[in-house]
Structure formats: structure tokens, C-alpha cells
Amino acid sequence: MRDGLTIDEIRHHIDALNEMKGYRYCEIVDTRGAEPLFRPKEFPDIARHARRLFGHRGMAPRAVVVNENDLVAFGLGRIFAALVAPWVTVRLFDNLPAALAFVEMAAREPSDEH
């Protein structure tokens, strides 16, 4: 992600994951080049939207990469991770190799889907 990131862009990404059935695959979201153009109070609505789409079937784990010194991005990531915790694992990382190791490990684990 680069430049400004809006809540509508997040919603579009979630909708695309649904359409492409991408929710079944682990994902790395690199936000180090993005500036959030939304407020944390918008997260509950987007989390509810994602839960309507994926909550009954779950999602593969997600890794979110943030700048190590960007406490705002880290805080936003933690808020979102807490909102979706009942049905998807979202982990935050400050470097890409650690995020990649996480999703590789998660991808090797057996799936609950049939």
C-alpha cells in the first residue's frame, strides 16, 4: 500500500477477497508506505462488513507490516486485529521477513475447511 489509505479502499479489498475467494489464503499487508486517511471509529463498521462475508467460514491468517516507529499505525493495526479476533488471526510485524515467516508457517498448518 502506498500513499493515502481510505476506509473505502479497505472495504474494496475485503470485497475483492470475497469475490476471488482469497480469504482462504494467507496474506501479507504491507502498510509501511501508506498514510491512514480514516479514523479508528470507522473500524467497527468495516470489521462487521468483513464478518458478514467471512465470519461463518473464517479467513486464513493475515500479517500486517507497519513501520517500527509508527505508533499510530501499530495502534490502528492492534485495534483492527482485536475487532476481528473471533474469526481471523491478524498479527502485526515491523519487518517483512518476520511477516513472511509467519504466513509460511500458517500456510503449512492444516486447514479447518472441507
The string of pLDDT tens digits covering residues 14-67 is 999 999 999 999 999 999 998 889 888 999 999 999 999 998 888 999 999 999
Q: Examine the pLDDT at 1 and tell me if it is beyond 60.
A: no
In the prediction, which pLDDT does 4 show?
A: 86
The pTM of this model reads: 0.86
Q: Examine the pLDDT at 80 and tell me if it is beyond 70.
A: yes
Among 54, 109, 106, 105, which Cα is nearest to 83's? 54
Return d(Cα 11, Cα 38) in angstroms, integer.
12
Q: Examine the pLDDT at 114 and tell me if it is beyond 70.
A: no
The string of pLDDT tens digits covering residues 58-78 is 899 999 999 989 998 899 899
Indicate the SS3 state at residue 1: coil
Among 64, 73, 69, which Cα is nearest to 27's? 64
Give yes or no for a contact between 47 and 81, defined as CB atoms under 8 angstroms apart. Answer: no
- 39: CB partners within 8 A, 6+ apart: none
Give yes or no for a contact between 84 and 50, defined as CB atoms under 8 angstroms apart. Answer: yes
